Amino acid sequence: MRIRKIIWEKSLSITSTLVVFFSWICLMNNAFSDEIKTLEDAVIAGEVVEVTDAYLSVKQEQGQIISIPWSAISLISRNKDVVMVNHDEKQIKFSILTTTPQLSAKDMHLTVTDKITDVYPQAKIASPVVQPDAEQAKRVAQAEQQTKPVAGAPEAKAATSDAVPVPQKTWKGHVDAGMNIKQGNTESTTTHAKGGYANERKRDNIYFDALALYETITEKDADEDTETVNEQRATGKYEYKHSPRLYSFFNQNFEHDEIEQLNYRSISSPGAGYRFVDGERIKYRAEAGPAYTLEKFHGGISDDYLGVRVGQYFDWLLLRDTKFYAKNEYIQSVENSDDWRLDSGLGARHNLTKSIALSLELLNQYDNTPSEGNQKDDTIIIGSVGYNF
């Protein structure tokens, strides 16, 4: 009962902390829609979910997905970027232009940039395309009719793969850092650095993330520095997809904590997982498998045991540039029912630009059988400024 009470109190504390952050994000950021303008000046608003050589698929607010041929499009606006579709005698060409934020299809104060992949940096897979309604079909048909070549003129061709290049990049990553400095009767410096890498391919995925935390406190009277935090964590993971939802994996975790006198903790875990929800905005997956834990402490003390690991992961794209994520990883020893640990985390990441991001994260480690002199519960909240690549 006491453990349940502790977990419940932690959940309430986590929720109240993140509500403040999400409220600020919602005030700072508005969701932007793509606007597709046809040659006859009709504007279709929605979210572009697929880009091919022949057409654009747009998901409208009511959930309907329609396909618009490039031959009927004059321009596309998205946030502060616009794609100009130029129809010449031989092929359709594209120019990408940039203006102030919250661009409308009617804005014309533009400066030239270079690639269409700057606007749509990753390939997207649309839901099954449905036909547009009668009014939309009529507008598209009229726009196509206007683009037909006159007698004797060379026939216009659909955009080729050179005009709309298919993105090949499957990986992404980020590097974040933060620092807090306190001056007064007691001086302290807290720093952290973290990073992540993901390579999601057709048949398999590769993930890696790392975190380093340091803190020192200086007492002026004694003129002495005391190290209160010195911890590093790293996790690598490989997933093989047996189907779009079912996968097998191998997960390897390393941890070092000088304050806990932990030289290293290694947790190796193979297993299987399933993506229960795999939508555009919400994703949820769970996995399980055996786990082998090896711990070595200062003084030559070591411990190892075989256990069971269960993990669950949740991702939610709140807004176009704001993502919320949560995870729980539970490890139970098969030799001792009291020997278990729970690693959990909640966080949000907001992209200010394509490269610069803000993040807030709460991490909690609960070890039911900690080493001598250490507490069971270890919680930290970190805010960071990061670079996306």
User: What tens digit of pLDDT does each residue of 95-111 get?
Assistant: 666 554 444 554 444 44
Nearest-angstrom CA–CA distance, 209 and 313? 15
Q: How far is CA 181 from the centre of its chain?
A: 29
- Please give the helix or strand (H or E) that residue 85 lies within, else none: strand 81-87
- The yes-or-no verdict on residue 122 having pLDDT over 80 is no
- In Å, the largest CA–CA distance within the chain is 93
Nearest to 39 by CA among 147, 148, 158, 156: 147
Q: Which residue's structure tokens are 């999400």? A: 22
pLDDT tens, residue by residue, 251-296: 999 999 998 899 999 999 999 999 999 988 999 999 999 999 999 9
pLDDT tens, residue by residue, 182-223: 887 778 899 999 999 999 998 999 999 999 999 998 877 777
Question: Where is mean pLDDT largest: 23-37, 86-100, 230-244?
Answer: 230-244
- Amino acid symbol at 316: W
Q: Which residues contact 94 (CB under 8 A, 6 or more apart)?
A: 83, 84, 85, 86, 116, 159, 163, 164
Average model confidence (pLDDT) across the chain? 78
Contact 197, 209 (CB under 8 A): yes
Nearest-angstrom CA–CA distance, 166 and 169? 9
Nearest-angstrom CA–CA distance, 235 and 346? 17
- The yes-or-no verdict on residue 303 having pLDDT over 60 is yes
- Amino acid symbol at 248: S
Question: Where is mean pLDDT largest: 28-42, 270-284, 368-382?
Answer: 270-284
- Residue 235: pLDDT band (50, 70, 90) is very high
Question: How many C-beta neighbours within 10 Å does residue 299 have?
Answer: 8
At 365 the pLDDT is 93
User: What is the length of the chain?
Assistant: 389
Give the three-state DSSP class for 382.
strand
- Amino acid symbol at 374: N
Average pLDDT over residues 238-245: 95
Query: Which residue has better confidence, 59 or 276?
Result: 276
At 138 the pLDDT is 61
**Hey, what domains does the chain have and what are their CATH numbers?**
2-27+170-388 (2.40.160.40), 34-146 (no CATH)
- The yes-or-no verdict on residue 21 having pLDDT over 90 is no
Give the three-state DSSP class for 130.
coil
Nearest-angstrom CA–CA distance, 195 and 305? 29
At 144 the pLDDT is 54
- The yes-or-no verdict on residue 113 having pLDDT over 50 is no
Residue 254: exposed, middle, or buried by beta-carbon count in 10 A (0-12, 13-18, 19+)?
middle
At 368 the pLDDT is 92
Question: How many C-beta neighbours within 10 Å does residue 1 have?
Answer: 5
Give the three-state DSSP class for 127.
coil
At 94 the pLDDT is 64
Average pLDDT over residues 221-242: 90
pTM over 0.85: no
Distant-in-sequence contacts of 226-229, Cβ < 8 A, 24+ apart: 227/258, 227/259, 228/188, 228/259, 229/190, 229/259
At 110 the pLDDT is 40
- Residue 124: pLDDT band (50, 70, 90) is very low
